[in-house]
């Protein structure tokens, strides 16, 4: 990698051919003063392509400055490209470059984007991320909307106070050692919302969109047990005397102190537990090691594999991260995040995409970028998105 040129990295970046390490190298090289003009020139060459004349009103120099500013902040510069092989290599690069440039623009600044574009794409009504709200359900069924709750103690559950922290997280503080019995709380995140929770033992939980976790306000002396639906990332406080157990859609994960991700959405055909660090035992049998994933399918068979960790943890890091991902899997994630219904027309089999897209993008931005690959096209009717092969839609 020491002899590779910035221009070569740029072209390979646009076509999605860089590894994670090479992407970091590309970003660091983009920050060098001598590459500022080069970056502007490369962007301008892509914008000059007649096939993408709709982007001609962008100033490549300004965009290059914005990209470098984002690189300094270590933000994701997203790329999107079709995973299947192109028929013509040159036309493939043009499609990939157009999609990548479009998404680079989105990551820079939506405000700047709408100011500079002549014909900005209107977002689907009320489908930008972050519009839905998380809810805490207390033991007696009381529902607390956490976005409108004031910071500080918001409820008392058994021997614990429920506290909303200044950073928006939820935590539990024991004020008595008296055994008041188990009182269960449930945290729910609807479509388009993430939330962080600190459990009574100090374990941290990140909940993905359309997910929930049920847990006691104070754990008993012998074990810590919670139930999850949807997707959650755990960073478990170590306690050798009190094993931590997560149940989700037929899978049971036992841990002492570790970090792992579990995905158990009702509309997915498998439950997946992916270990980041430490060790877990799945269904009282197989022990996972860091980087391994246990997959429990509808047949009940447990399969162990090694997935791309950056793809599994993309949601927690604020991005969609696809690696040769089937379009239906992509659109299920889109549906949860933007709270839309997805339908399909035509033969969608074999359509796979790879890339990284910031979750701060609006749905219209994301769909437009997908269309620039000339692999898929979308029809928007209210809150319903119809997906179809690109050429069948023309």
In which band, very low, low, confident or very high, does the pLDDT at 360 lie, cut at 50, 70 and 90?
confident
In order of 88, 134, 199, 348, the CA distances from 224 in angstroms are 56, 23, 10, 44
Q: Which residues pair with 209 in a beta bridge?
A: none
pTM of the model: 0.72
- Does a structural domain hold residue 387? yes
Residues 277 and 384 in one domain: no
Which token pair is 377? 């096209």
- Does a structural domain hold residue 128? no
Listed range (125-134, 241-250, 319-328, 358-367) with the worst mean pLDDT: 125-134
Q: Pick the last residue of a domain from 311, 336, 371.
A: 311
pLDDT at 114: 28
Q: Which residues pair with 389 in a beta bridge?
A: 376
pLDDT at 40: 78
- Does a structural domain hold residue 93? yes
- Does a structural domain hold residue 305? yes
19-33, 66-80, 90-104, 363-377: which has the highest mean pLDDT?
Answer: 363-377
Residues 287 and 183 in one domain: yes
Listed range (28-37, 83-92, 247-256, 345-354) with the worst mean pLDDT: 83-92
Q: Pick the last residue of a domain from 116, 144, 173.
A: 116
- Does a structural domain hold residue 124? no
Residues 260 and 356 in one domain: no
Residues 214 and 296 in one domain: yes
- Does a structural domain hold residue 195? yes
Which of residues 184 and 41 earns the better pLDDT score? Answer: 184
Residue that is written with structure tokens 């574009």 in the block: 117
Residue 296's CATH number: 2.60.120.1440
H helix intervals, 109-157: 110-116
Per-chain mean pLDDT for the chain: 79
Residues 386 and 272 in one domain: no
Residues 86 and 47 in one domain: yes
In which band, very low, low, confident or very high, does the pLDDT at 206 lie, cut at 50, 70 and 90?
very high
Average pLDDT over residues 73-91: 36
Residue 349's CATH number: 3.55.50.30
Closest CA to 359 of 223, 229, 193, 189: 193
Listed range (57-61, 124-128, 352-356) with the worst mean pLDDT: 124-128
How many distinct structural domains can be found in the chain? 3
End-to-end C-alpha distance for the chain, whole angstroms: 42
In which band, very low, low, confident or very high, does the pLDDT at 143 lie, cut at 50, 70 and 90?
very high
Phi, psi of 254, deg, nearest 5:
-110, 130
Q: Determine the structural domain holding residue 94 and report its residue range.
A: 6-116
Residues 160 and 210 in one domain: yes
Residues 260 and 365 in one domain: no
- Does a structural domain hold residue 19? yes
Listed range (69-78, 104-113, 149-158) with the worst mean pLDDT: 104-113
Buried b vs exposed e over 208-218: b needs ≥16 C-beta within 10 Å?
A: bbbbbbbbbbb
Residues 376 and 345 in one domain: yes
- Does a structural domain hold residue 39? yes
C-alpha angle with apex 313: 308 to 318, nearest 5 degrees?
130
In which band, very low, low, confident or very high, does the pLDDT at 349 lie, cut at 50, 70 and 90?
confident
Instruction: Give the H or E element holding residue 310.
Output: helix 309-312
Q: Pick the last residue of a domain from 311, 338, 363.
A: 311
Answer whether residue 245 shows pLDDT above 50.
yes
Which of residues 311 and 110 earns the better pLDDT score? Answer: 311
Residues 170 and 302 in one domain: yes
Residues 335 and 263 in one domain: no
Residues 81 and 195 in one domain: no
């Amino acid at each position: 990698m020491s002899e590779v040129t910035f221009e070569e990295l740029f072209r390979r970046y646009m076509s999605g051919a860089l590894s994670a390490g090479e992407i970091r190298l590309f970003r660091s090289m983009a920050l060098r003063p001598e590459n500022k003009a080069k970056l502007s020139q490369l962007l301008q060459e892509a914008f000059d392509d007649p096939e993408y004349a709709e982007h001609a009103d962008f100033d490549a120099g300004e965009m290059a400055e914005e990209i470098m500013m984002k690189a300094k902040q270590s933000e994701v510069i997203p790329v999107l490209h079709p995973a299947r092989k192109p028929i013509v290599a040159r036309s493939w690069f043009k499609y990939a470059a157009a999609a990548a440039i479009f998404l680079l623009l989105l990551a820079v600044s939506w405000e700047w984007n709408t100011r500079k574009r002549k014909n900005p794409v209107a977002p689907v009504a009320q489908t930008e991320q972050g519009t839905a709200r998380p809810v805490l359900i207390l033991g007696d069924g009381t529902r607390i909307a956490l976005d409108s709750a004031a910071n500080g103690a918001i409820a008392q559950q058994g021997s614990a106070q429920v506290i909303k922290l200044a950073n928006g997280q939820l935590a539990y503080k024991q004020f008595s050692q008296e055994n008041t019995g188990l009182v269960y709380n449930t945290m729910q995140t609807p479509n388009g919302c993430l939330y962080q929770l600190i459990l009574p033992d100090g374990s941290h939980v990140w909940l993905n969109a359309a997910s929930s976790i049920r847990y006691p306000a104070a754990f008993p002396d012998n074990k810590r047990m919670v139930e999850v639906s949807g997707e959650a990332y755990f960073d478990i406080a170590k306690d050798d005397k009190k094993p931590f157990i997560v149940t989700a859609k037929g899978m049971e994960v036992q841990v002492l102190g570790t970090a792992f991700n579990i995905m158990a959405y009702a509309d997915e055909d498998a439950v997946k537990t992916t270990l980041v660090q430490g060790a877990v035992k799945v269904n009282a049998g197989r022990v996972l090691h860091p980087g391994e994933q246990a997959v429990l399918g509808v047949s009940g068979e447990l399969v162990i594999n090694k997935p791309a960790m950056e793809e599994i943890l993309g949601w927690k890091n604020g991005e969609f991260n696809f690696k040769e991902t089937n379009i239906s899997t992509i659109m299920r994630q889109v549906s949860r995040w933007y709270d839309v219904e997805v339908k399909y027309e035509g033969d969608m089999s074999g359509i796979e995409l790879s890339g990284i897209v910031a979750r701060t993008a609006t749905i219209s931005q994301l769909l437009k970028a997908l269309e620039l690959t000339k692999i898929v096209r979308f029809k928007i009717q209210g809150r319903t998105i119809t997906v179809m092969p690109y050429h069948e839609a023309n």
